[in-house]
Amino acid sequence: MGKLPMLLLTAVVAVVFGFLGSFGAVAVYGENLKGTQGETGLQGPPGEKGERGTDGAPGEDGKPGRPGRPGKPGKDAKAPEPRTYDLGTTGCAGRAMEVVTDVTLVRQEVRVSKKTVCVTE
């Protein structure tokens, strides 16, 4: 080994053992390093001790205020148009539509069941 690596190794060993030595000293002599607890603050003077006074009488109600401004008149609600729908398959007077009613999967094959439904408005 050369001079520089040996010097670095010596410095590292000294630092490591220095930290370990300081931790060991604190662990062994920790109780001796603690001092007594000092005062935490000054205590204020005690308050005056007196008797509790009597409760006062309730106050009178004030005069009523002015009424507020009237609001804007409301608008009439729009009633929706009544619609009737007739769903069926016989006697279709409206529009016939084909609707999917069932889907099954058999051996990686999709089977779709459809039914014709009449929708009239």
Decide if pLDDT at 12 tops 70: yes
**Per the structure block, which two tokens stand in for 20?**
């370990």
pLDDT (0 to 100) of residue 93: 67
* Residue type at position 13: V
84: Cα within 13 Å, side-chain hemisphere: 1
Encoded amino acid at 77, one letter: A
pTM > 0.75: yes or no? no
Supply the mean pLDDT for the chain. 76
Structure tokens at 62: 């004030």
The string of pLDDT tens digits covering residues 38-84 is: 777 777 777 777 777 788 888 898 899 999 999 899 888 888 776 65
114, 97 Cβ separation under 8 angstroms: no
